[in-house]
Structure 1
Amino acid sequence: MKKIKNIVFIGLLTFMVIIVLYPTVTDFSIYNPGWNGYLRLKERLNAVIITENFEKTLNSIVDTEETTLITVAYKPYSTSELETIRNYLLHGGTLILMDDYGYGNIVLSYLNVPLTIAENSSLLDPFVKYKNKRFPKAEIAGEDKYIILNHASAIIVDEKAISENIVNISAYSSPFAYLDLNRNEVWDEGEPKGPLPVAVSLKYGEGTLIVISDPSIVINSMLDFENNLEFVETLVKGKKVFIDQTHIPKSLHEQLKEAAFNIVNNYILYPLTYIALLIGIAVFMLKRTIKKPR
């Protein structure tokens, strides 16, 4: 019986180590070192990660005006979460809302701002692009610099809001870009043509709302394209950055990994802890397999 308990214990420890060490493939995950993850973004911005208790974390932030929250809107927000975001902005926080085909418009509608993210429509550019029309280049406003987009959308802004400087355009597509409303990959009469906004900002209470119509500009594989990283670093302005991971869909592996990290309060992230844990398992196994002299 004791031997069975030891085997079960070792098995559970080994399973936990595998869960933690094996990388995830979840889009925009800070645990994903692959092409579509946010691991490098987290490291470059030295960001604090929100994996649970979204509202509690935001409400506990002191010196809100010295912080920036990055959220990818790929899961719905509850009414209480939306109100928490609103209060965060009103008290001086900077919110970077990144979305292309998700739930970003729920946030924008709740905040009652004069802009929306074009839904179910890809921004294509057959001429000013990186490798194909699904990777359009966008010019940073006021600078001769570009960011590279990846299967992006565009932002529809009320013209009056622009003319009255309520909304400021931070980056926009070339005049050759268009929103492919019917998804036939060619421009048709009536489809919006460039230049189209892909990043905008506006004051909201004491804070700043920034909307970017492509969360992929800062995935691991695109962070070093053109001026993508520099663009985001300029937006956060050296503030303390929080990356919200509670509004992206997660695989079972991702959920187990987050649970493991939360149990040990993230200390397991340190490499020495991995080594110590593996050594501990090895020593335990050796002690149980080596027969004691009679």
Structure 2
Amino acid sequence: MSWHAGLLGDGDVDWPRVLLLALAATVVLTVGAVAATSSASFGPYNPTWDGSSEFREDVQAAPGVEHHLIRDAAEYEELPANDTVAFVVAPDEPYEDEDAARVREFVAEGGTLVVLENRDGASNELLADVGAEARADGRLLRDEQHHFRGPTMPVAADVGNHTLATGIEQLTFNYATAVDPGNATVLVATSEFAYLGSEDDGLDAGDELRSYPVATAENVSNGQVVVVGDPSVTINAMYDEPDNAAFVRGLYDDADHVVVDRSHGDDVPPLTAAVLTVRDSPWLQLLVGTAGIGLVAVLSRVRVRSVLETVRAVLPARFRSVEGRSGGGGSESSRLGLSEHDRVEYLRRRHPEWDDDQVKRMATAFNNHRMEEDGYE
């Protein structure tokens, strides 16, 4: 029986089995996609409009930059702070005492902390803990005159003279807030037609129209803290709008390590979490590597045997009859049914796409397989 006998019956395709295999393949691919991606807003493994997979891929593609995904704030202790930029994007939970202390130590040792936030919650607490003065206002920023697709998507084109703002002319926001700079340096600000309010409010007589800072930078101890009033500059829907990607790249242009801190946000996808766990454990790497080598060896042996059985199944009837009549005596060629030359010539005709080395290796392997079956070592 040939290898395709399981799918063909009397020359016809066994459609139920084909459909079952197609369904199984679809299920496996779907489960794999779900396990490798996330639906979390601002998630680095979320490929939809509100994820930041493009930002993550941009960092990974940057020459000379090593990308890290932090799932536990304790990992800050293992980073070379002087050469590292850490992005904290709209955390869902506050940094407790030990975690806040780790981030504070990271900044104190020379690290750059970039906080992107449009609320006044967990990020502001972290900014206070590390000793920064800038704070996210938390109210929605609007601009009736200078915006992208509406007043809630203001375009901030007042760019300051700072190295972190080099090469950009504007930032394009989506549901942003202002940044109260304190003594920090303003990198980018809105036009003079901007105002702050709640999400349901529009412009009224009581609103103050003026230019609001939306990105700041300040030195804290030996490090630096950057605050941006909109985490949306990193999401897929906004990353390529002027000049968001260029600004974000400029924040880590001189760094050797870039960290995306998800320690206080949604979990990463399970498949990604497993890969990161293995990558961080030399013992798990050794175990997985050993298991992989063993699996390849087993599958290779099974594949060779399958091919050999296929060759036997499609041998011409005259060869099979000779093989059936062969006994234990005589030469090795007679015991195996046909000569080495016959097998090579048959395989060459059967598989014209094989080169001479492949044909000879398969003929030799087939001879060895037959000898094992007949009790010859």
Same fold (TM over 0.5): yes
Q: Which one scores higher on RCO, CA 8 angstroms, separation ≥ 6?
A: 1
CA contact (8 A) 1:41 1:220 kept: yes
2:252 to 236, 258, 280: 236
Per the alignment, residue 200 of structure 1 pairs with: 216
2:122 aligns with 103
- Paired residue for 2:107? 89
Aligned to 1:65, the other structure's residue is in SS state helix
Asked if 1 retains the 8 angstrom alpha-carbon contact of 2:35 and 2:269, the reply is no
Structure 2 residue corresponding to 1:168, chosen from 180, 185, 188: 185
Preserved contact between residue 180 and residue 187 of structure 1 (Cα < 8 Å):
no
What SS does the aligned partner of 1:127 have?
A: coil
| Contact kept in structure 1, 2:141 and 2:178, CA below 8 Å | yes
Corresponding pairs, count: 254
Which one of 214, 228, 239 corresponds to residue 223 of structure 1? 239
Residue of structure 1 in register with 2:276 after alignment? 262
Unaligned 5+ segments in structure 2 are 1-23, 61-65, 281-291, 310-377
* Alpha-carbon distance between aligned partners in 2 of 1:109 and 1:181, rounded to the nearest angstrom: 24
The 1:106–1:265 alpha-carbon spacing in structure 2 relative to 1, beyond 3 Å, is same
Name the larger-Rg structure. 2
- Say if 1:66 and 1:112 are closer, same or farther in 2 by CA, change over 3 A: closer
CA distance 1:255–1:51, shift in 2 (3 Å): farther
Q: 2:155, 2:76 → 1: CA distance?
A: 34
Letter in 1 for 2:233: I
TM-score (norm 1): 0.75
- The match for 1:164 is none
- Verify: 1:151 aligned to 2:151, yes or no: no
Task: Please state if 1:245 is matched with 2:259.
Answer: no
1:54 equivalenced with 2:70 (yes/no) = no
Does residue 66 of the first structure (1) align with residue 83 of the second (2)?
yes
Does 1:134 pair with 2:152?
Answer: yes
| Aligned match of 1:41 | 55
Residue 219 of structure 1 deviates from its aligned partner by 0.9
**Which letter maps to 1:226?**
P
Give the Cα–Cα distance (whole angstroms) in 1 for the partners of residues 189 and 260 of structure 2: 24
Give percent identity, aligned residues only: 22
Query: CA–CA distance in 2 between the matches of 1:263 and 1:232?
Result: 28
Report the AA paired with residue 108 of structure 1. L
Q: In the TM superposition, what is the alpha-carbon distance from 1:172 to its structure 2 partner?
A: 0.6
* Counterpart secondary structure, 2:279: coil
SS of aligned partner of 1:128 = coil
- Matching residue's letter, 2:223: G
What is the CA-CA distance between 1:50 and the residue it aligns to?
2.2
Distance across 1 between alignment mates of 2:108 and 2:179: 23
Measured against aligned partners, the alpha-carbon deviations of 1:136-189 in whole angstroms (never above 9, x if no partner) come to 00122247711100100111133xx2xxxxx11011111101111474122442
Q: 2:368 corresponds to which residue?
A: none
Out of 227, 230, 245, the residue aligned to residue 211 of structure 1 is 227
Residues in 2 aligned to 1:45 and 1:53: alpha-carbon distance in whole angstroms: 20
Change (3 A) 1:169 1:18: closer
Aligned CA RMSD, in angstroms, stands at 3.3
Q: Judge conservation of contact 2:134–2:227 (CA < 8 Å) in 1.
A: no
